[in-house]
């Protein structure tokens, strides 16, 4: 059996896909993750820390998110 690194899968197969197929892939993977049994990975009653990136007011992620929203509105692209 041949195992590919996630980065290789991304470069060879995912990047070339049209946006609609990428969104479908996200939907399919999300559904697959939801169907997995969480007790397989987590112990009941234990608190796990959640690490999130810190976003500062001067961070470009705000600009990127705003620009993406503008593009969706301009192109009438909506994610259902």
pLDDT single digits (tens) 22-63: 999 999 998 888 888 777 777 888 888 876 655 555 666 677
Residue 1 lies in a domain: no
pLDDT for 53-67, tens place per residue? 555 556 666 777 777
Question: Residue 75: which domain range?
Answer: 18-33+59-80
Q: What is the C-alpha to C-alpha distance for residues 13 and 9, in angstroms, rounded to an integer?
A: 5
Residue 73 lies in a domain: yes
How many domains, in total, are found in the chain? 1
> Buried (b) or exposed (e) across 50-70, using 16+ Cβ within 10 A?
eeeeeeeeeeeeeeeeeeeee
Element (DSSP H or E) covering residue 60: helix 60-75
The residue with tokens 């996630």 is 6
Q: Are 48 and 42 in contact (CB under 8 A)?
A: yes
């Amino acid at each position: 059996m041949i195992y590919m690194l996630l980065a290789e899968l991304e470069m060879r197969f995912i990047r070339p896909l049209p946006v609609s197929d990428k969104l479908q892939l996200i939907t399919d993977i999300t559904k697959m993750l939801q169907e997995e049994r969480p007790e397989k990975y987590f112990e009941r009653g234990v608190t796990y820390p959640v690490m999130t990136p810190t976003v500062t007011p001067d961070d470009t992620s705000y600009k990127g998110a705003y620009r993406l929203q503008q593009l969706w509105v301009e192109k009438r692209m909506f994610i259902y």
